[in-house]
């Protein structure tokens, strides 16, 4: 029998966030938010003034996918009586999606939407975890949990502040219907919902970034790419986009791996979207 999820309610999730921001205990030794790497004020002002649009990675940067999937699993378990470690399940599902996009990128699979990649991974997990008795309608609803992911607490307020100064767009591997439903569900004020689906290239292929820049009618250097993942940010930087890195310490759960860039690598490093808005003068 598998153990139950370590996170059983939204109250516990919020409390874990509060504990983190009080203690900073899960950052590497000697690194608190007060000492995050930043570039000079004059360099940052120059970037802020030259940028016309902000393009955002979504999963993990804008939304808390892990806690959202854990919650959806717990709701499913309450209806169906499953006994599953939903934190482990969420991590496995996310890994299955990542493997799917890589299989598309290397040509092993033809172009396949993220919804379909999620379903392929889910089918394998349903069999492995013996989640018996689910109808096709229930499987489809559970698969679309990714359309219902919750934003981080700072997301909507930060986006609304940034929107007063910049064009805001998604630049995500998620398919357009997924991103649109997510935005509608969470109240995200995008000016444009752009996706790797449009270029039929998954990040970190350069086409995924350049095609979406072209759709906005902007050269890459006039776009600030916002991400919580160094690999994604570095790939965008290679196309000429400027970079804002937002640290999301709880993306992988309390005690999970935290992605933090080296000193000075990116134009901005922020603790959340509100901090990024402050740094950009929005």
Which pLDDT does position 41 carry in this prediction? 65
CB 2 within 8 A of CB 86: no
**Interatomic CA distance for residues 100 and 120, integer angstroms:** 8
List where CATH 3.40.50.1000 sits in the chain.
27-64+151-279
* Tens of pLDDT, residues 97-146: 999 999 999 999 999 999 999 999 999 999 999 999 999 999 999 999 99
CB 172 within 8 A of CB 56: yes
Q: CA angle, corner 66, sides to 61 and 67, nearest 5?
A: 110
- Report the CATH number of the 65-148 domain: 1.10.150.240
| Cis peptide bond prior to 36, omega within 30° of 0 | no
* Tens of pLDDT, residues 186-230: 999 999 999 999 999 999 999 999 999 999 999 999 999 999 999
pTM score of the predicted model: 0.85
Superfamily of segment(s) 27-64+151-279: HAD superfamily/HAD-like (3.40.50.1000)
User: Angle formed by the axes of helices 114-128 and 86-105, to 10°?
Assistant: 130
Would the pLDDT of 5 be above 90? no
| Interacting residues of 106 by C-beta distance below 8 A, sequence separation 6+ | none
The pLDDT > 70 percentage for the chain reads: 85
List where CATH 1.10.150.240 sits in the chain.
65-148
């Amino acid at each position: 029998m598998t153990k139950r999820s370590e996170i059983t309610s939204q109250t516990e999730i919020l409390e874990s966030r509060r504990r983190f921001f009080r203690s900073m205990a899960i950052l590497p030794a000697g690194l608190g938010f007060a000492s995050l790497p930043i570039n000079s004020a004059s360099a940052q002002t120059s970037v802020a003034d030259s940028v016309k649009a902000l393009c955002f990675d979504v999963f993990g940067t804008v939304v808390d996918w892990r806690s959202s999937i854990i919650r959806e699993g717990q709701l499913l378990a309450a209806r169906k009586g499953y006994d599953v470690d939903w934190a482990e399940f969420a991590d496995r599902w996310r890994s299955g999606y990542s493997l799917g996009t890589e299989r598309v990128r290397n040509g092993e699979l033809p172009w396949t939407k993220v919804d379909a990649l999620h379903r392929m991974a889910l089918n394998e997990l349903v069999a492995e975890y013996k989640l018996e008795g689910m109808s096709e309608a229930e499987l489809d609803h559970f698969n679309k949990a990714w359309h219902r992911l919750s934003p981080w607490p700072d997301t909507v307020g930060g986006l609304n502040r940034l929107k007063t100064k910049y064009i805001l767009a998604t630049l995500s591997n998620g398919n357009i219907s997924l991103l649109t439903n997510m935005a509608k569900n969470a109240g995200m004020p995008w000016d444009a919902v752009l996706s790797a689906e449009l270029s039929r290239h998954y990040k970190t292929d350069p086409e995924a970034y350049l095609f979406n820049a072209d759709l906005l009618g902007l050269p890459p250097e006039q776009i600030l790419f916002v991400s919580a993942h160094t690999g994604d940010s570095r790939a965008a930087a290679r196309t000429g986009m400027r970079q804002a890195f937002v640290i999301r310490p709880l993306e992988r759960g309390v005690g999970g791996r935290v992605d933090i860039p080296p000193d000075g690598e990116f134009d901005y490093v922020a603790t959340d979207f509100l901090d990024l808005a402050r740094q950009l003068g929005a």
